[in-house]
């Protein structure tokens, strides 16, 4: 998996837009001004930060050595997934989809209506 493929997949989500986080040298992908993914470097390695429930975040860390708590975000909800690990591409897509749905569900109804989602 690479940064370009991840950004392309994230940006294909309805209402998604990208912004740069210069302090972390990262690309944030948001829906309704709430981030659902971030392409960044963690420990000098390319990574994708994704949001999940605290239970799922912990479970993923226990199952996959290439998934660690995200150093710049709330570690209870955010994991960093190393792009150079052994995780199959399908798992990246599933994690992105889950993060997007979680953030979307938390948006106010008015915002979802404005986005027509």
Q: 49 Cβ partners below 8 Å, 6+ apart?
A: 26, 37, 38, 39, 40, 42, 70, 72, 73, 78, 79, 80, 81
Structural domains for the chain: 1-11+25-107 (3.90.1150.30)
Q: What confidence score (pLDDT) does residue 23 get?
A: 74
Burial status of residue 99 (CB atoms within 10 A of its CB: 0-12, 13-18, 19 or more): buried
Contact 70, 78 (CB under 8 A): yes
What's the token pair of residue 15?
A: 């209402």
pLDDT category of residue 92 using cuts at 50, 70 and 90:
very high
pTM, to two decimals: 0.92
Distance CA 78, CA 49 (A): 6
Give residue-wise pLDDT tens across range 49-88: 999 999 999 999 999 999 999 988 999 999 999 999 889 9
Q: For residue range 98-108, list pLDDT tens digits in order.
A: 999 999 999 99
pLDDT at residue 22, as a whole number: 74
Choose among 70, 72, 42, 41: nearest CA to 58. 70
């Amino acid at each position: 998996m690479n940064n370009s493929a991840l950004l392309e997949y994230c940006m294909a989500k309805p209402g998604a837009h990208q912004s740069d986080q210069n302090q972390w040298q990262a690309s944030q992908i948001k829906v309704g001004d709430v981030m659902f993914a971030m392409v960044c470097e963690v420990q000098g390695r390319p990574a994708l930060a994704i949001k999940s429930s605290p239970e799922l975040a912990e479970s993923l860390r226990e199952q996959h050595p290439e998934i660690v708590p995200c150093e710049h975000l709330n570690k209870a909800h955010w994991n960093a997934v190393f792009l150079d690990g052994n995780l199959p591409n399908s798992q990246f897509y599933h994690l992105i989809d889950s993060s997007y749905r979680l953030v979307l569900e938390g948006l106010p109804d008015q915002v979802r209506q404005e986005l027509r989602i």
